[in-house]
Amino acid sequence: MASKLRAGVIGCGSISSNHVGGYINCGRYDVVALADLNESAMDEMDARFKIKTKHYTDARQMLEKENLDVVSVCTWHTGHATWTITAAAYKPKAIICEKPMADTLGRAEQMLIACQRNKVKLVIGHQRRFLPAYTLAKDLIAQGAIGKVQQITSYGWQGMPNFSSHQTDMYRYLLSDEECDWVMGNVERKTDMFERGTRIEDCAIGTFRFRGGTQALLLSDVTDIVYQGALIYGSEGMINMTTNNLQLLNKDTGGSWQLHEPDGKFFKVKERGDRFEWEEGGAAQADELADWIEGKVDTHRGRGENGYKALEMIHGVYESARMHEKVILPVRTKVNPLDIMVESGHLVPERPGHYDIRAFLLRGERMTKDDEQVSEG
């Protein structure tokens, strides 16, 4: 049996538990070190998973001392590029960075470059690629079970970069990573709202056209419907997919919806319920990364290039709103187009007052960032 991989985590907020749980549940890692500005966050992580790790309030010290094979970057979005690039310089075998990949496409490109030059494998945490319902839908589509896919409809909320980058990544996964050719959309932003340190919109609509002719529609905060998954319309049938199951309707189902609830490699849907997507996704993502590191597979379905393209499609909606045009990919603006619109006066908040909808996740006196040092003066 191969020895376990040594894993360390930068940032011990809420999402990091999915990484730690994934490492532990797949059985191929030892989580040996944690880095966070708050000792209490690291203590809680140890207690939750009944592990004993070394704690660091300086992540660079952890990277220097712990000889890590894999590093998870679980800071808020604005820290993703900074800490991925920093971790890559210490040359672990791989890095898993939470989604969205970065706050700008330029910074996301730098992450790819830093990992490439240091020969570090980079994964972005779009763990829903590992849900069996998603994979079954992808396989059914590839087999022609609903004919040619004409339309995919999905719903989001609380900012496109966080929630809906999962949806744009899902479109490509369902279509076997077919390329998106163009994006068109618009946003409303009357408030000065942020999400985990990243400026977001109040609501948005995006339309995406793929190389094979499929179109996808994203409705974010414009309806009362919100869920991860999709309605998939084909020329010969339909799929209604959620994170736990899918329903298939085609000529072979006799005109009725046929329910499928596929279990995962590590967990069963009915046993885990609402926790299934998090626990199965995290474990399967980590498991495939171990296979990639050990040379058992040639790539990883969550590799950095796929994370980049999911972010690019989100920023394509912002760029369409900024430029009032259909945006042909690749997006050539390397900073966040929503930031440009606001900071240039093109999209001035009518109800001023910077606030972060995830501020409740912060500790101590911090209110806007998870990596700021609070002044004692």
- pLDDT, tens digit, 9 for 90 and up, residues 270-288: 999 999 999 999 999 999 9
pLDDT at 366: 81
Dist. CA 5–CA 316, nearest whole Å: 37
Q: Yes or no: say if 55 and 38 are a contact pair by the CB < 8 Å rule.
A: no
> Given a cut of 90, is residue 371 above it in pLDDT?
no
Compute the residue count for the chain: 377
Q: Yes or no: say if 124 and 300 are a contact pair by the CB < 8 Å rule.
A: no
pLDDT at 370: 75
pLDDT at 368: 80
> Given a cut of 70, is residue 376 above it in pLDDT?
no
> Given a cut of 50, is residue 377 above it in pLDDT?
no
Percent of the chain at pLDDT > 90 equals 94
What is the mean predicted confidence (pLDDT) over 161-187?
98
What is the mean predicted confidence (pLDDT) over 254-275?
96
Give the residues across from 36 on adjacent strands. Answer: none
Quick one: pLDDT band at residue 139, thresholds 50, 70, 90? very high
Phi, psi values for residue 57, rounded to 5° = -90, -5
What is the mean predicted confidence (pLDDT) over 319-334?
98
pLDDT at 1: 54
Q: What is the separation of C-alpha 328 from the centre of its chain, rounded to a whole number of angstroms?
A: 23
What is the mean predicted confidence (pLDDT) over 297-311?
98
> Given a cut of 50, is residue 292 above it in pLDDT?
yes
pLDDT at 369: 78
What's the CATH fold of domain 5-128+280-303?
A: Rossmann fold (3.40.50)
Burial 70-106, CB ≥16 within 10 A → b, else e: bbbbbbbbbbbbbbbbbbbebebbbbbbbbbbbbbbe
Looking at this protein, which amino acid is placed at residue 280? E
> Given a cut of 50, is residue 104 above it in pLDDT?
yes
Residue 254: HSE in the Cβ half-sphere, 13 Å Cα cutoff: 2
